């Protein structure tokens, strides 16, 4: 079984990931991905969500990305939920926290 890793790539000024920029996502049960409303880098962003990688004992480890939108419409929130679901499936880890749009309200 291949180990799950997550590496930083494409960082401005850093041509390749450094050893400290690679996370081993093992054991898989210790890791999760969640979505938080808002953007810590730009508090003026009204419609923004942070995708956060979390460890069961260490808590939040890294913000993977921030999704910004001109709209907070339900369909946009569903797209963010779908992005989190796709990343969770790709990484083979669990999702933590609640969904932006509860399943019964999905269109």
User: What is the full per-residue pLDDT of the chain (107 aa) written as tens digits?
Assistant: 346 777 666 555 555 545 557 778 888 899 999 999 887 777 777 899 999 999 999 999 888 888 999 888 999 999 999 999 999 999 999 999 999 998 776 55
How do 31-37 and 5-7 pair as beta strands?
unpaired
User: Is the distance from CB of 88 to CB of 33 less than 8 angstroms?
Assistant: yes
Instruction: Count the helix, strand and coil residues of the chain and give each as a percent rounded to the nearest 5.
Output: 25, 30, 45
- SS3 category, 78: helix
pLDDT (0 to 100) of residue 92: 92
> What pTM did the predictor assign?
0.78
């Amino acid at each position: 079984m291949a180990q799950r890793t997550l590496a930083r790539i494409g960082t401005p000024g850093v041509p390749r990931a450094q050893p400290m920029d690679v996370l081993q996502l093992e054991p898989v049960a210790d890791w999760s991905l969640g979505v938080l409303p808002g953007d810590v880098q730009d508090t003026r962003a009204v419609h923004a969500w942070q995708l956060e990688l979390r460890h069961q004992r260490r808590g939040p480890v890294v913000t993977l990305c921030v999704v910004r939108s001109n709209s907070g419409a339900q369909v946009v929130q569903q797209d963010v939920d779908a992005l989190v679901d796709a990343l969770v499936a790709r990484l083979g880890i669990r999702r933590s926290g609640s969904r932006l749009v509860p399943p019964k309200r999905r269109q």
